[in-house]
Amino acid sequence: MEMPSNIKSILSTGESKRLEFKSGNVGMVALGATICAFLNSGGGQIFVGVRDDGTVEGGVDAKQIEKMLHPLSGGDSSVSLITPNAIWDVTEEATDDGPVVLIDVPAGADLPYLFQDSIYIRIGKQTRKATGGQTRELIQRRYLHGARWERQPVLEVKLKDLDEEEIFETVRIAANKRGWRFRDPEDLMMILEDLNLVDHGRLTNAAAVLFAREAGHIFPQAHVRLTAYASDKAASQLREDQTSRGHLFSHLKTYDAFLGRHISVISDFTATKNHREDRPQYPYWSLREGFRNALIHRDYESIHGRVSVSVYPARFEIWSYGNLPPGLSIASLKTGDRSLPVNPDIAQVVFLRGLVDLLGRGTRKIVEEFRSQGLPEPVWKKQTGGISLTLRSRATPGEIPKELNARQIALLRRMKPGDQTDLSAYAKQTEGDWSERALRNDLSKLVRLGYMAKQGQGKNTFYVRTEKPTA
């Protein structure tokens, strides 16, 4: 298997403050010290199965590495070798010379971190025990920024206000998928403590955002607005406009349902194919990853900290309020070689739920997925106080939407954007003896899918062709 270009590029740069190579026979102590050092030093990546000169040994099993790292951290701090609680991601990467294991370590938010009662940091490309002065600097750095909004207590929310079903689902997945250890998987308060969602006996803002049924009523900035437009102009008629006001996991369910209503499945017929190939208008993984990133990284402290999703016939936009953290740039989002979560407690729970597999690398995977499918490259930019992600549609001439019948396709091919028709004109142009109900349903479906915009009422109703592309 050919080595992915991004892995080849990373290995060619050599070891650095944020990159470490380890032999395949590395032990837990060496990995634990390096992970601890990265947590204390802004994050980094460890490649296991790679020699110091960047050449690949191969033959490394990610499951074995995960098993080796299991005692380091995970919920119950009384038995963890790294404290306070921390997360990292372990993935297997293919190369020309066999598999290597990549350990992605995000920047730690609760400095300093200890491994076996010692504090480690990165000095250049070396892992070293911190001196007394360096330890004081880590502590000062933590308190210089003050208490994070997500870690502050929320007085309006009690245990009874939380979605217990979602909490226990988090326990189940975190324990089975991530090996997270809970002191008592049936005690809600202890579970939340093990997830860093309780501070001095009080629920935190992060607990409310993640699990409070009425999170949007407590924090208006936790809302998500979902809008579908009839044309590619923002001022066009709305096909749907709704606001999701629940907790984070309810947003995810609402969003998936929204995608189901507004992301078309395209059927592709070409001269080289004798069968129909069905594929979504956009890669679903990228749509979900972009939305999850917006929920995790937005600025919840501001009353303006909402997330908005806008679907147009030929593009998809996700916007979230807030700036990139220091150390990240728009350009670095495409390389995804560093994780600096804005809300680490929220990010940790979403990671433990198995919804984010690649810490810091999800944005890079979005770029790779669009490139691999021949789609326009995703665009991130700073916009109106936040960060927007714009994804361009895969719809191109020659593709036929799967949802449409022959009558609807013929109508769309006769019309240009801005052309008008009505039920009577459609009936005259359609071959065959079709009932008024069938033809009316045809037009209603075209409106629902965004190919037409309905205007007027009653006998004065007519339909305008939108800019949504089709064959």
DSSP state of 72: T
The counts of H helices and E strands in the chain are 16, 22
- Asked if 115 and 33 count as a contact pair (C-beta separation under 8 A), the reply is yes
Structure token pair of residue 424: 């009577």
Question: Which residues fall within 8 angstroms of residue 30, CB to CB, at 6 or more apart?
Answer: 22
Please give the pLDDT value at position 79.
Answer: 72
The span from the CA of 348 to the CA of 205, in Å, is 14
Write out the chain's pLDDT in tens, 471 residues: 344 557 888 898 999 999 999 999 999 999 999 999 999 999 999 999 999 999 999 889 999 999 999 889 876 666 789 999 899 999 999 988 899 999 999 999 899 999 999 999 999 999 999 999 999 999 988 877 667 999 999 988 999 999 999 999 999 999 998 889 999 999 999 999 999 999 999 999 999 999 999 999 999 999 999 999 988 776 678 999 999 999 999 999 999 999 999 988 765 544 344 455 667 889 999 999 999 999 999 999 998 889 999 999 889 999 999 998 877 888 888 877 677 788 999 999 999 999 986 566 789 889 989 988 888 899 999 998 999 999 998 654 445 566 788 899 889 888 888 899 999 999 998 888 899 999 999 999 998 888 889 998 888 899 999 877 765
333 plus 344 within the same structural domain = yes
β-partners of residue 119 are 114
233 plus 317 within the same structural domain = yes
In a domain, 355, yes or no: yes
131 plus 201 within the same structural domain = no
In a domain, 471, yes or no: no
In a domain, 239, yes or no: yes
Burial of 268 (0-12, 13-18, 19+ CB in 10 A): middle
Q: Which residue do the tokens 């296991």 mark?
A: 48
Strand arrangement of the beta sheet that strand 452-455 belongs to:
420-421, 462-465, 452-455
What is the CATH classification number for the domain harbouring 455? Answer: 1.10.10.10
The span from the CA of 267 to the CA of 325, in Å, is 41
In a domain, 247, yes or no: yes
333 plus 446 within the same structural domain = no
The span from the CA of 97 to the CA of 50, in Å, is 10
What is the CATH classification number for the domain harbouring 21? Answer: 3.30.950.30
299 plus 249 within the same structural domain = yes
In a domain, 100, yes or no: yes
Query: Taking phi first (over 0 means left), then psi (-120 to 50 degrees means alpha), and beta for anything else, what does residue 306 get?
Result: beta
- Asked if 208 and 159 count as a contact pair (C-beta separation under 8 A), the reply is no
| Per-residue burial over 229-260, b = 16 or more CB atoms within 10 Å of its CB, e = otherwise | bbbbeeebbebeeeebbbbbbbbbebbeebbe
Q: Measure Cα distances from 70 to 86, 175, 284, 368 in Å.
A: 12, 11, 31, 30
444 plus 370 within the same structural domain = no
200 plus 299 within the same structural domain = yes
In a domain, 284, yes or no: yes
Helices assigned H by DSSP within 283-394: 284-297, 330-335, 344-352, 362-372
Please give the pLDDT value at position 257.
Answer: 96
Of 86, 111, 146, which closes a domain? Answer: 146
Would the CA dihedral through 408, 413, 414, 418 be positive or negative?
positive
269 plus 368 within the same structural domain = yes
Structure token pair of residue 456: 């007027």
The span from the CA of 440 to the CA of 446, in Å, is 10
In a domain, 354, yes or no: yes
Q: Measure Cα distances from 325 to 185, 332, 338, 342, 445 in Å.
A: 34, 12, 11, 7, 44
221 plus 274 within the same structural domain = yes
β-partners of residue 101 are 48, 92
Number of domains into which the chain is organized: 3
In a domain, 470, yes or no: no
The number of residues making up the chain comes to: 471
The SS3 of residue 154 is coil
159 plus 227 within the same structural domain = yes
Q: Measure Cα distances from 182 to 66, 90, 175, 208 in Å.
A: 18, 21, 8, 20
Please spell the DSSP secondary structure of 79-123, one letter per residue: G-SEES----EEEEE--TTS-EEEEEEPPPSSPPPEETTEEEEEE
151 plus 206 within the same structural domain = yes
Question: Which residues fall within 8 angstroms of residue 65, CB to CB, at 6 or more apart?
Answer: 31, 48, 90, 101, 103
Please give the pLDDT value at position 272.
Answer: 41
142 plus 255 within the same structural domain = no
Please give the pLDDT value at position 185.
Answer: 95
Of 397, 412, 434, which closes a domain? Answer: 397
Of 102, 120, 146, which closes a domain? Answer: 146
Which residues form the domain of 115? Answer: 5-146
What is the CATH classification number for the domain harbouring 314? Answer: 3.30.565.60
The span from the CA of 251 to the CA of 375, in Å, is 27
- Give the chain's largest Cα–Cα span: 88
- Give which of 142, 139, 141, 120 is closest to 131, Cα–Cα: 120
- Asked if 317 and 388 count as a contact pair (C-beta separation under 8 A), the reply is yes
| Per-residue burial over 109-118, b = 16 or more CB atoms within 10 Å of its CB, e = otherwise | bbbbbbbeee
